[in-house]
Structure 1
Amino acid sequence: MPLKQGAVVDSGHRFDASRHWAASLTLGFCARADGDVSITRMTTARHYGPLRVQRPFYPEGRDGCCHVYLLHPPGGVASGDSLNIDVNVGEGAHTLLTTPAANKLYRADSNGVAWSQHTQLKVANGGTLEWLPQETLAFDGSRGEQTLIIDLQDNAKCLGWEILGLGRPASELPFASGYLEQGFKLTRNGRPLWLERQRIDPGHPRFTGKWGQGGATVHATMWAVGLSDPEEAVQALREHMQASSHWAVTCRRGVILLRYLGTERNQVWDLFQQARDLLRPRLTGHKAIVPRIWLT
């Protein structure tokens, strides 16, 4: 028997315009001495709803970076979903977080209910965080808000990216309706280093205007903060990366920002992996290791 409008299931989830399905994940990482080496351990892993992690992996050795995969079993975000991720990397710890597959932002329901995704990343003095999720794909008609807040202390380091694909071009289903609100905030000791907010709305002239997005269907930003010589790193990126008119790199307040605006997911993925190959050794002293999950 179909549920009536406004019905509430046993879990409390609604199926009307007031629906709200929450999920949260809290992770903590600490560096602990083990003999003459320091090992990053996942010391906190609390979840509510369909957000999980697999066990930590150490493909770079027991005293290397702790790799953790963030899992969202539904595979996508629908109307009313509210996802919250909170990560704390302790002093001297080194953590890499990624996902096993693309995140999908589904079309809003008949009530037009929006979804939300909020991520907060905190890195203590001497800690290093690599935030490397696979791409997010926004289906036509999706409505929601994404925020990413990165809070660094003292000489903490962070390397990361966010990749967004609009519509499903292979199925000839463009992102023709809906909207996405995106917000980014990066601070060090509470002082803003990078603040950005944008609304992606196919009904706005900026969406197709050459002075705006120009009809691009793939938007991506990569950042690196904590490098000893960011200007040298920028020069290395310009000299050694694949030549293309779709990307540019700048450095402001010690933050490297590499931007991509184009139409090819594979192109931006290749570019960002090239950039990581150049930046990670400069940031951490270790070559870039490809997480195993990307190869499955």
Structure 2
Amino acid sequence: MHVPPIAEEQLDEVASATRHVDALPSSWQGELELWLESRNGKTRLIRRRHFGPLIVQQPFNPEADGTCHIYLLHPPGGIAEGDKLETKIHLGQGARTLLTTPGATKFYRCQQGGSEQRILIDVGGAAVCEFFPQETILFDGADAMVETRVCLAADATYVGWDLVCLGRPAAQERFTSGRVSLRTEVLCEGKPVWFERLGLSGGSPLSRSRYALADQPIFGTMIYVGQTVENAADRVRDALEGHAGDVFSVSQLEKVVVCRYLGPRISQARTLFARAWDVLRTACQGKPASPPRIWAT
């Protein structure tokens, strides 16, 4: 991956605020693009470009191997009708990063059009990208499209999760109307190694059926793609035995370990996925999990 040379004082690049967007008058179009490289034993954010309501906080390196922790921010706090957000992440050779968000992503009710969020991640040789956003909350009546696409070099690693909350259970709100399209695709050397797509309408039989979501408001998927040990899934099962809650499963393919959650509590889902991440990171990368400090606030 070629990164154009750039001086330190040119780290931040902001696109023109007068750009024309084909969207509703009150809607937002946001773009964020980050380039990371390994330099002198640490992964550094060497360039960033942003337009609209997507920014990052100051990155930092809390781990001994120089992994760069970055918080992705969306100051409006929610995605409304007509909003289109796109984030692109580029990792150079040997770079390591952990990406997270300070809060949930909320998709609000739509009446005339939908809203979109796209995440595009390019991971170079021997690089590691861990993407752990907080949950996505679909308000009743939301019309959301969420897409994640990851392109890996042959020896790169990607770990990521998606946690989805249908409605707002704490407010006794269910997802009875609206729709959501979820798509996750991971390619290694241009060949697909993981693909998953879900289209769900509010109040559909799929939400209530025992063979699908069983009327539970929370579901999530975590995937680990890269070099894995042979018994990685068994290690996760052993570590979570007796703590797996309502529905938690682990399976392993050739280069992919998949964890799934289905249940009533987002806190339980986060806890189980964090434990699975710790087991997989220790087994496959030789270091324990290093939870972002913002998760404790």
Could you tell me the TM-score, scaled by structure 2's length? Answer: 0.89
Quick one: structure 1 residues 12 and 152, their matched pair in 2 at CA, closer, same or farther if it must change by over 3 Å?
A: closer
Where do 1:186-201 residues align within 5 Å?
Answer: 186-201=186-201
Moved runs in structure 1, 4+ residues, more than 3 A?
Answer: 10-16
Alpha-carbon distance in 1 for matches of 2:35, 2:211: 42
Task: Answer yes or no: is the 8 Å Cα contact 1:193–1:253 preserved in 2.
Answer: no
Q: Which residue matches 2:185?
A: 185
1:11 Cα shift?
7.9
Residue type of the partner of 1:72? H
2:31 is the alignment partner of 1:24:
yes
Q: Which residue matches 2:231?
A: 232
What are the Cα deviations for residues 196-242 of structure 1, in whole angstroms up to 9, with x where unaligned?
Answer: 1111212422121112211121010011111331x311011111112
Alpha-carbon distance in 2 for matches of 1:290, 1:209: 35
1:19 Cα shift?
6.4
Name the SS of the counterpart of 1:59 in structure 2: coil
Name the SS of the counterpart of 2:237 in structure 1: helix
Q: Which residue matches 2:3?
A: none
Q: Which residue matches 1:214?
A: 214
Task: Answer yes or no: is the 8 Å Cα contact 1:13–1:19 preserved in 2.
Answer: no
Task: Answer yes or no: is the 8 Å Cα contact 2:245–2:268 preserved in 1.
Answer: no
Name the SS of the counterpart of 1:88 in structure 2: strand
Task: Answer yes or no: is the 8 Å Cα contact 1:157–1:283 preserved in 2.
Answer: no
Residue type of the partner of 1:117? Q
1:23 Cα shift?
0.5
| Aligned partner (choices 88, 102, 106) of residue 104 of structure 2 | 102
| Contiguous gaps of at least 5 residues in structure 2 | 1-17
Alpha-carbon distance in 2 for matches of 1:269, 1:203: 25
- How many pairs were matched up? 278
Q: Which residue matches 2:281?
A: 280
Quick one: structure 1 residues 148 and 15, their matched pair in 2 at CA, closer, same or farther if it must change by over 3 Å?
A: closer
Quick one: structure 1 residues 15 and 228, their matched pair in 2 at CA, closer, same or farther if it must change by over 3 Å?
A: closer
Name the SS of the counterpart of 1:282 in structure 2: helix
Residue type of the partner of 1:69? Y
What are the Cα deviations for residues 215-274 of structure 1, in whole angstroms up to 9, with x where unaligned?
Answer: 121010011111331x31101111111233411111123100101111111110110111
Alpha-carbon distance in 1 for matches of 2:150, 2:107: 22
Alpha-carbon distance in 2 for matches of 1:199, 1:228: 30
Alpha-carbon distance in 1 for matches of 2:218, 2:228: 31
Q: Which residue matches 2:48?
A: 45
Q: Which residue matches 2:85?
A: 83
Q: Could you say what the CA RMSD is over the residues aligned between the two structures, in angstroms?
A: 1.8
What are the Cα deviations for residues 52-88 of structure 1, in whole angstroms up to 9, with x where unaligned?
Answer: 0011111114x42100000000011000000001001
Name the SS of the counterpart of 2:231 in structure 1: helix
Q: Which residue matches 2:8?
A: none
Task: Answer yes or no: is the 8 Å Cα contact 1:103–1:134 preserved in 2.
Answer: yes
Task: Answer yes or no: is the 8 Å Cα contact 2:42–2:61 preserved in 1.
Answer: no
Task: Answer yes or no: is the 8 Å Cα contact 1:98–1:131 preserved in 2.
Answer: yes
Alpha-carbon distance in 2 for matches of 1:29, 1:49: 21
Residue type of the partner of 1:43? I
Residue type of the partner of 2:238? E
Alpha-carbon distance in 1 for matches of 2:180, 2:23: 22
1:107 Cα shift?
0.9
Q: Which residue matches 1:55?
A: 58
Alpha-carbon distance in 2 for matches of 1:160, 1:14: 31
Q: Percent identity?
A: 37
Could you tell me the TM-score, scaled by structure 1's length? Answer: 0.89
Alpha-carbon distance in 2 for matches of 1:12, 1:92: 37
Alpha-carbon distance in 1 for matches of 2:21, 2:151: 33
Task: Answer yes or no: is the 8 Å Cα contact 2:140–2:202 preserved in 1.
Answer: no
1:47 Cα shift?
0.2
2:143 is the alignment partner of 1:140:
no
Bigger drift between 137-146 and 199-208 goes to: 199-208
Alpha-carbon distance in 2 for matches of 1:290, 1:19: 36
What are the Cα deviations for residues 75-107 of structure 1, in whole angstroms up to 9, with x where unaligned?
Answer: 110000000010011110100100111111111
1:12 Cα shift?
6.0
Q: Which residue matches 1:164?
A: 164
1:13 Cα shift?
7.1
